[in-house]
Structure 1
């Protein structure tokens, strides 16, 4: 495999690892926020109205940021009626045949999320709630994570081609 392609794959995998591990740490933040909400609401009788909504934003970030690592580690859901019985080269062929659909889907999602982010930026879009937070940060994160998922999908194409060629790209 060409060194430039191998470097791209390693670089993309490394970024996906870092973003995915950062996403995993968000679980502790969400748990802490919900515990804080429960204590202030039930024990102190002083509810904070932003805690649940902040947890919802954090959960969205968790899903967005976990996508690239899920693709990299091949941990996504798959109908495994006959796939597991294929050879490594057979799996690479099937994955190459279906990855185009995923890239198309991610491209459509990216186009929609860019449009949504542009709208949020021009209108200073906010959630209609007591807290009234801006949605620009979460929409920006969504765009960035979709770009990284597309980069990871291209990396997977290179890995599957390397598998079919008999190269070991890691």
Structure 2
């Protein structure tokens, strides 16, 4: 049952990571189009800047849970690698409970409030001439932090099992 729960969480993170990778591909194509349009035809686009930060920011946030699942995030390995697996698990549980969960929860609640307010005001981008709606990008942030929180739960469960001498 626990393994199935962890697999569901990690599958959600994998899908978010795949969506983020597609956003990067679309971002590359839109920037290539902008550069070609600007320099070859002297016709810059009016939408490129807004699309760039929306896609780039969304990709960065949506990729967080996938990065954490695959342990690709930055870590100070100087000390961590010298610890036994048991002590690594203890350190991760302590730091996750003391720092990770509180920070992610604060970020989640604040970003959710901002996304709801943005949606209710029908907020648009302040830059550019076409002023696209901004609430979709604001909604990506709490979704991404929610996925990151769930991945933290999965990792904590995995570390607790490791402390008990079992693997998931």
Give the CA deviation at 1:140: 1.2
Structure 1, unaligned runs of 5 or more: none
Structure 1 residue 26, shift from structure 2 partner = 2.1
1:56-87 deviation line (CA, Å, top 9, x unaligned) = 11000111111001111111111223111111
Alignment of 1:79 onto 2:67: no
Residue of structure 1 in register with 2:11 after alignment: 14
Question: What corresponds to 1:110 in structure 2?
Answer: 108
Give me the whole-angstrom Cα distance separating, in 1, the residues matched to 2:114 and 2:94: 30
Alpha-carbon contact 1:121-1:136 (below 8 Å) kept: yes
Deviating above 6 A after TM superposition, structure 1's stretches of 4 or more consecutive aligned residues are none
- Taking structure 1 as the reference length, what is the TM-score of the superposition? 0.93
Aligned length: 166
Aligned equivalents of 2:75, 2:113: Cα separation in 1: 30
**Aligned-pair CA distance for 1:25:** 2.5
Contact 1:126 1:132 in 2 (8 A): yes
1:52 offset after TM fit, Å?
2.2
Residue 165 (structure 1) aligned with residue 164 (structure 2)? yes
